[in-house]
């Protein structure tokens, strides 16, 4: 409405400023008001949760002017906008981060103190939105932070799962999953938009018809419709006034339920159908890489993609008469193949709903999307059975067939004598069960494809998408992942933040390359002392946390050797365990030569259906139990498992690490992002040449990194030559003794069979080459242990790691996406300009 625009009242007026002031005084007043007017509580009966809610609303109020002003600025400028489509956002707690990005941490702490409250206690109350499984979802959250910080017009689109990643409990050393309840006590950060709803359809059939111009068209007659309703969360930039939008969709039953089923008198049937519709956004699938092919999962994917594209179309049509130019307004990033059905959905919207012809629709679609690949693991490459696909989305399957028919025609022309290549590239996998290959759909339907670390992007080009790279070499990019220094240094490690700010000034958190100012101080004794004190304090905090969570007592003087990440065979937590058992064995034998006391910390969730991963968790606990209570050993070694590894715990873990375990089989870990968080916080890495480890090692200096293991080429060769793990077992005495100990029942109360599935797998197949890498790993660990006994040398390396990892800021990654892929420019928001006056 232009008419409305003229009369638009100016919020953000001086009244508004006073009301949303940032001083301790006004924060305090607003907090007390929120307690009364929002929480409806009085002081004497307020629970810790009430304190948190009142604080969150107080902070949220202070985000709104920026948020609204940002929306207004982007809209007026008709700005090209990035739409990040992701099934996962592992946001972590919001309050602390929002305080930092608003620049009011000190005011808030002061205000709280005046009221006799400890800010930390309030922060600890927040349940975390764990709407992601691991690296991929956390990456999306880091990218939202950087997009806002770099003033890039951007919207994050995703799913508002009622239950995020499960809570992990440990019972008798086994993982037990518990339902995540992040929403049950209310979510103060989101704004429900009940009127912002879109219909989403499923099932039914399609029928041809002739439109009023006599053109052939197709109509989808769905069986079922439901609605997606928007919940909006503001995402603050740091050091600027931009505040972007994260829009998550919630499923509710549509009219078809009410009208058809209820009115037919089948009340219970109708209720059931309604519940079925609302199930779509009930729960996040807790699998990491391997896919399961569950119908509900495909429904989730289509549901959120359809809502998001309809929303984008609505916005576009506010500025334009039709969908021409859609690709100029939006760059839509597909975070893995999970949202890749978007290619078919945008085609459907253009063709069926907006009457466009195929060629034009395809042009717009291909110029809208870009696709990020996050894994090469064959079992993780998404494919959907054609039968299931056609049952749920008959029109989309038709469109995919048509895309494919045209694509294959092109290929046959280009490669007339290579039918095998054409079959390999098809969007449909032929076989006993025909399947839709989502990575091929995403690649064909996008203008850019990228991997997430240099080595990974090369492997994408030479393995899973090799044929596509040969066809379209210019389409392929690398964008090495990054992590936000706001959350993973400033928020998690205030002491380190203080050190850096003293040297580099406060600007470093917006320009992480400024971390280099630490470098000249790496050998300075006084500086080293401050650094050691920082590390020491972080280790003490983690030790306290561990004691609280597990009862285990660990020594902050010892080397903290930490592996936290999803539990997966390719990540090789059990290689770490083989080394621990070797150290134990040496101490028991009296053959030990590495007297460095160590605390081994593990953390991570296993997919609920992944038996081996769960057995690895049990093995960690079992080894811990034997080692921690043996007085001959426990002065030197401790092993702990931090239950329920999540963003909140992670913030306490990364700063406390001396040694970061990044020991995946070369070629398997696409990038890793924990590796970056550790080294930014001054941990040294023991790692393979896999994922971003390669670039971290180059950045920090080879002498400041404990490298071991087979390279990708060596892994390939070893497997090609017929790998026989048994021979490593036979010829390596210590390795054999270690595995025999696992099979002896020592760690399983005399039951020699408990860990048999693991040891058998290692001895018979060992697909991740633990035995081949074992000698090199143990040797690298010995180097690390030795190095730790030279505190000055270690501290120097630790400082250099932090100083040289600015490249791994997600700001750098997002700048690369903006320049190389999205072609989008910053649009800074100003709170001052013209908006200060009362109308
Ligand atoms: C992952 C890769 O395995 C990681 O190596 C990578 O760092 C991240 C982000 O690019 O993506 N792909 C993937 O499916 N997951 C990743 O972590 N899995 C989970 O998020 C559980």
User: 88-92, 255-259, 275-279, 533-537 — which is least confidently predicted?
Assistant: 255-259
State the closest ligand 1 atom to the C-alpha of 133, by its place in the atom list counted from 1: 21
Q: What is the pLDDT of residue 514?
A: 97
If you take atom 7 of ligand 1, which residue's CA is the nearest one? 672
- Ligand 1 pocket check for 743: Cβ under 6 Å: no
Distance (Å) from CA 380 to ligand 1 centroid = 11
Cα–Cα–Cα angle for 680, 684, 689, nearest 5°?
A: 100
In order of their start, the domains of the chain are 485-708+775-809 (3.40.50.2000)
Distance (Å) from CA 135 to ligand 1 centroid = 4
d(CA 839, CA 837): 6
d(CA 700, CA 802): 8
Contact indicator for 206, 394 with CB cutoff of 8 Å: yes
Selected residue with higher pLDDT from 12 and 648: 648
User: 229-233, 566-570, 835-839 — which is least confidently predicted?
Assistant: 835-839
Reduced to 3 states (helix: H, G, I; strand: E, B; else coil), residue 240 is: coil
pLDDT in tens, 187-229: 999 999 999 999 999 999 999 999 989 999 999 999 989 999 9
If you take atom 14 of ligand 1, which residue's CA is the nearest one? 289
If you take atom 18 of ligand 1, which residue's CA is the nearest one? 288
d(CA 331, CA 329): 7
Task: Tokens 């074992």: give the residue.
Answer: 774
CA 163 from chain centre, in angstroms, equals 16
**Bridge partners of 707?**
687
- Read off the pLDDT of each residue in 108-124 and give the average, rounded to a whole number: 96
d(CA 802, CA 816): 22
- Read off the pLDDT of each residue in 586-594 and give the average, rounded to a whole number: 91
Give the dihedral sign, CA 69/193/138/814.
negative
Q: Ligand 1 pocket test: pick from 90, 289, 482, 568 the residue with the most ligand atoms within 8 Å of its Cβ.
A: 289
647: part of which helix (H) or strand (E)? helix 647-653
Backbone angles phi, psi at 477, to 5 degrees: -135, 165
Cα–Cα–Cα angle for 381, 414, 337, nearest 5°?
A: 20
**Bridge partners of 192?**
231
d(CA 605, CA 375): 19
pLDDT in tens, 701-713: 999 999 999 999 9
Q: What is the pLDDT of residue 3?
A: 40
Q: Check pLDDT > 80 for residue 16.
A: no
Contact indicator for 522, 564 with CB cutoff of 8 Å: no
Provide the pairing of β-strand 89-90 with 130-131: antiparallel
- Ligand 1 pocket check for 139: Cβ under 6 Å: yes
- Ligand 1 pocket check for 528: Cβ under 6 Å: no
pLDDT band at 258 (very low <50, low <70, confident <90, very high): low
Is 727 buried (19+), middle (13-18) or exposed (0-12) by CB count in 10 A?
Answer: exposed
Tokens standing for 10?
A: 């100016």
pLDDT band at 20 (very low <50, low <70, confident <90, very high): low
d(CA 616, CA 277): 37
Contact indicator for 69, 12 with CB cutoff of 8 Å: yes
Q: What is the pLDDT of residue 833?
A: 53
Distance (Å) from CA 199 to ligand 1 centroid = 31
- Ligand 1 pocket check for 452: Cβ under 6 Å: yes
Distance (Å) from CA 750 to ligand 1 centroid = 37
Q: What is the pLDDT of residue 832?
A: 74
Q: What is the pLDDT of residue 594?
A: 78
Reduced to 3 states (helix: H, G, I; strand: E, B; else coil), residue 825 is: coil
Distance (Å) from CA 375 to ligand 1 centroid = 7
The H-assigned helical ranges of 236-393 are: 255-256, 263, 267-278, 295-319, 326-329, 342-348, 358-368, 386-392
Q: What is the pLDDT of residue 4?
A: 42
State the closest ligand 1 atom to the C-alpha of 289, by its place in the atom list counted from 1: 14
- Tell me the helix, strand and coil percentages in the chain, rounded to 5: 55, 15, 30
If you take atom 9 of ligand 1, which residue's CA is the nearest one? 136
Tokens standing for 458?
A: 């090369």
Distances from the Cα of 668 to the Cα of 291, 457, 578, angstroms: 16, 12, 20
Reduced to 3 states (helix: H, G, I; strand: E, B; else coil), residue 826 is: coil
Provide the percentage of residues in the chain whose pLDDT is more than 90: 90
Close Cβ partners of 351 (under 8 Å, ≥ 6 residues apart): 218, 357, 358, 361, 399
State the closest ligand 1 atom to the C-alpha of 481, by its place in the atom list counted from 1: 10
Q: Check pLDDT > 50 for residue 245.
A: yes
Provide the pairing of β-strand 174-178 with 167-171: antiparallel
Q: What is the pLDDT of residue 9?
A: 42
pLDDT in tens, 298-342: 999 999 999 999 999 999 999 999 999 999 999 999 999 999 999
- Read off the pLDDT of each residue in 2-10 and give the average, rounded to a whole number: 41
State the closest ligand 1 atom to the C-alpha of 672, by its place in the atom list counted from 1: 7
If you take atom 19 of ligand 1, which residue's CA is the nearest one? 134
Q: What is the pLDDT of residue 254?
A: 75
What is the 8-class DSSP label of residue 87?
A: S
First to last CA, the chain: 18
Report the chain's C-alpha Rg in angstroms: 28
d(CA 351, CA 490): 48
Distance (Å) from CA 391 to ligand 1 centroid = 30
If you take atom 4 of ligand 1, which residue's CA is the nearest one? 672
pLDDT band at 18 (very low <50, low <70, confident <90, very high): low
Following CA atoms 582, 585, 590, 594 in sequence, which dihedral angle do they give, to the nearest 10 degrees?
30
- Ligand 1 pocket check for 460: Cβ under 6 Å: no
- What is the set of active-site residues? 374, 565-566, 571, 673, 677
Q: Check pLDDT > 60 for residue 572.
A: yes
- Read off the pLDDT of each residue in 772-786 and give the average, rounded to a whole number: 98
Q: What is the pLDDT of residue 261?
A: 61
In 3D space, the residue among 667, 770, 668, 772 whose CA is nearest the CA of residue 718 turns out to be: 772
Backbone angles phi, psi at 311, to 5 degrees: -65, -45
Cα–Cα–Cα angle for 451, 455, 456, nearest 5°?
A: 35
State the closest ligand 1 atom to the C-alpha of 288, by its place in the atom list counted from 1: 21
State the closest ligand 1 atom to the C-alpha of 374, by its place in the atom list counted from 1: 12
In 3D space, the residue among 195, 365, 383 whose CA is nearest the CA of residue 297 turns out to be: 383
| Number of continuous H segments (helices) and E segments (strands) in the chain | 36, 24
C-beta atoms surrounding 813 within 10 Å: 22
Q: Check pLDDT > 90 for residue 738.
A: yes
Q: Ligand 1 pocket test: pick from 130, 131, 133, 135 the residue with the most ligand atoms within 8 Å of its Cβ.
A: 135
- Read off the pLDDT of each residue in 230-240 and give the average, rounded to a whole number: 98
Tokens standing for 611?
A: 């038996």
Q: What is the pLDDT of residue 2?
A: 40
Contact indicator for 791, 671 with CB cutoff of 8 Å: no
Q: What is the pLDDT of residue 224?
A: 84
- Ligand 1 pocket check for 504: Cβ under 6 Å: no
Tokens standing for 287?
A: 């699998």
Q: What is the pLDDT of residue 767?
A: 98
Close Cβ partners of 320 (under 8 Å, ≥ 6 residues apart): 329
Tokens standing for 27?
A: 């924060």
Distances from the Cα of 593 to the Cα of 223, 586, 590, 786, angstroms: 71, 8, 9, 10
The H-assigned helical ranges of 463-522 are: 466-471, 485, 494-504
- Ligand 1 pocket check for 288: Cβ under 6 Å: yes
Reduced to 3 states (helix: H, G, I; strand: E, B; else coil), residue 132 is: coil
Mean pLDDT of the chain: 95
Q: Ligand 1 pocket test: pick from 130, 134, 164, 379 the residue with the most ligand atoms within 8 Å of its Cβ.
A: 134
- Ligand 1 pocket check for 677: Cβ under 6 Å: no
pLDDT in tens, 515-549: 999 999 999 999 999 999 999 999 999 999 999 99
Distance (Å) from CA 133 to ligand 1 centroid = 9
233: part of which helix (H) or strand (E)? strand 224-236
Contact indicator for 604, 756 with CB cutoff of 8 Å: no
State the closest ligand 1 atom to the C-alpha of 90, by its place in the atom list counted from 1: 20
In 3D space, the residue among 450, 84, 454, 387 whose CA is nearest the CA of residue 235 turns out to be: 84
Q: What is the pLDDT of residue 287?
A: 85
Distance (Å) from CA 768 to ligand 1 centroid = 17
Q: What is the pLDDT of residue 1?
A: 34
Distance (Å) from CA 93 to ligand 1 centroid = 21
pLDDT in tens, 85-94: 999 999 999 9
In 3D space, the residue among 354, 290, 369 whose CA is nearest the CA of residue 613 turns out to be: 290
Contact indicator for 220, 200 with CB cutoff of 8 Å: no
- Ligand 1 pocket check for 382: Cβ under 6 Å: no
- Ligand 1 pocket check for 662: Cβ under 6 Å: no
Tokens standing for 830?
A: 């100003």
Is 429 buried (19+), middle (13-18) or exposed (0-12) by CB count in 10 A?
Answer: middle
Distance (Å) from CA 86 to ligand 1 centroid = 13
714: part of which helix (H) or strand (E)? helix 712-720
State the closest ligand 1 atom to the C-alpha of 673, by its place in the atom list counted from 1: 7
Q: Check pLDDT > 60 for residue 271.
A: yes
- Read off the pLDDT of each residue in 815-839 and give the average, rounded to a whole number: 82
Q: Check pLDDT > 80 for residue 7.
A: no
């Amino acid at each position: 409405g232009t008419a409305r625009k003229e009369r638009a009242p100016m919020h953000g007026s001086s009244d508004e400023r006073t009301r949303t002031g940032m001083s301790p005084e006004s924060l305090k007043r607003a907090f007390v008001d929120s307690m009364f007017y929002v929480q409806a509580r009085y002081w004497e009966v307020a629970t810790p949760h009430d304190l948190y809610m009142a604080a969150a609303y107080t902070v949220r109020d202070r985000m709104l002017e920026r948020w609204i002003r940002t929306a207004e600025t982007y809209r007026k400028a008709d700005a090209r906008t990035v739409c990040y489509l992701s099934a996962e956002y592992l946001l972590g707690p919001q309050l602390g981060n929002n305080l930092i990005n608003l620049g009011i941490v000190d005011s808030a702490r002061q205000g709280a103190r005046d009221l006799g409250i400890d800010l930390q206690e309030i922060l600890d109350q927040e349940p975390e939105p764990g709407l992601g499984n691991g690296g991929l979802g956390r990456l999306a959250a880091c990218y939202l932070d950087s997009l806002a910080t770099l003033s890039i017009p951007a919207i994050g689109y995703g799913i508002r799962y009622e239950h995020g990643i499960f809570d992990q409990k440990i019972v008798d050393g086994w993982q037990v999953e518990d339902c995540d309840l992040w929403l049950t006590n209310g979510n103060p950060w989101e704004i429900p938009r009940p009127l912002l709803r879109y219909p989403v359809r499923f099932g039914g059939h399609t029928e041809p018809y002739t439109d009023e111009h006599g053109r052939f068209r197709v109509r989808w007659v769905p069986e079922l419709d439901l609605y997606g309703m928007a919940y909006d969360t503001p995402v603050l930039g740091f050091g600027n006034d931009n505040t972007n939008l994260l829009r998550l969709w919630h499923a509710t039953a549509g009219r078809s339920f009410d009208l058809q089923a209820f009115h037919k008198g089948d009340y219970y049937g109708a209720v059931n159908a309604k519940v079925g519709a609302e199930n779509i956004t009930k729960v996040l699938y807790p699998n990491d890489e391997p896919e399961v092919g569950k119908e509900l999962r495909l429904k989730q994917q289509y549901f959120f993609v359809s809502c998001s594209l309809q929303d984008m179309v609505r916005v576009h049509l506010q500025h334009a008469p039709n969908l021409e130019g859609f690709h100029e307004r939006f760059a839509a990033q597909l975070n893995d193949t999970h949202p890749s059905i978007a290619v078919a959905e945008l085609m459907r919207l253009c063709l069926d709903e907006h009457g466009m012809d195929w060629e034009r629709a395809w042009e717009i679609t291909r110029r809208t999307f870009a696709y990020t690949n996050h894994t090469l693991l064959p079992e993780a490459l998404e494919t959907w059975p054609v039968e299931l696909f056609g049952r749920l989305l008959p029109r989309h399957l038709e469109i995919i067939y048509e895309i494919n028919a045209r694509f294959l025609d092109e290929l046959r022309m280009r490669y007339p004598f290579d039918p095998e290549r054409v079959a390999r590239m098809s969007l449909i996998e032929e076989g006993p069960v025909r399947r839709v290959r989502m990575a091929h759909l995403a690649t064909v339907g996008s203008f850019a494809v990228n991997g997430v670390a240099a080595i990974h992007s090369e492997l994408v080009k030479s393995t899973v998408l090799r044929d596509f790279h040969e066809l379209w070499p210019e389409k392929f990019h690398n964008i090495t992942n990054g992590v936000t220094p706001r959350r993973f240094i400033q928020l998690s490690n205030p002491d380190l933040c203080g050190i850096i700010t003293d040297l580099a000034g406060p600007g470093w958190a917006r320009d992480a390359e400024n971390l280099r100012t630490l470098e000249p101080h790496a050998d300075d004794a006084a500086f080293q002392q401050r650094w050691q004190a920082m590390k020491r304090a972080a280790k003490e905090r983690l030790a306290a946390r561990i004691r609280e969570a597990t009862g285990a007592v660990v020594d902050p003087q010892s080397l903290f050797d930490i592996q936290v990440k999803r539990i997966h065979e390719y990540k090789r937590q059990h290689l770490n365990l083989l080394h621990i058992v070797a150290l134990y064995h040496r101490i028991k034998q009296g053959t030990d030569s590495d007297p460095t006391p160590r605390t081994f910390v593990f953390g991570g969730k296993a997919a609920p259906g992944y038996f081996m991963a769960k057995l690895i968790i049990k093995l960690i606990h079992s080894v811990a139990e034997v080692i921690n209570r043996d007085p001959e050993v426990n002065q030197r070694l401790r092993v702990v498992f931090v239950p329920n590894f999540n963003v909140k715990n992670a913030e306490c873990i990364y700063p406390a690490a001396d040694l970061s375990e990044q020991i995946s089989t070369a070629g398997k870990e696409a990038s890793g992002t924990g590796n970056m968080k550790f080294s930014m916080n001054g941990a040294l890495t023991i790692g393979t040449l896999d994922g971003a480890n390669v670039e971290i090692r180059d950045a920090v200096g080879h002498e400041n990194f404990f490298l071991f293991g087979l390279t990708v080429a060596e892994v390939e060769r070893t497997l090609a030559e017929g790998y026989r793990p048994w021979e490593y077992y036979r010829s390596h005495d210590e390795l054999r003794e270690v595995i025999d100990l696992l099979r002896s029942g020592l760690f399983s109360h005399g039951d020699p069979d408990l860990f048999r599935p693991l040891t058998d797998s290692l001895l018979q197949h060992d697909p991740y080459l633990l035995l081949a890498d074992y000698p090199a790993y143990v040797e690298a660990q010995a180097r690390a242990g030795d190095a730790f006994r030279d505190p000055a040398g270690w501290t120097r390396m630790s400082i250099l790691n932090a100083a040289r990892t600015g490249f791994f800021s997600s700001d750098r990654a997002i700048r690369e996406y903006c320049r190389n892929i999205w072609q989008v420019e910053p649009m800074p928001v100003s709170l001052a300009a013209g908006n200060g006056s009362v109308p």
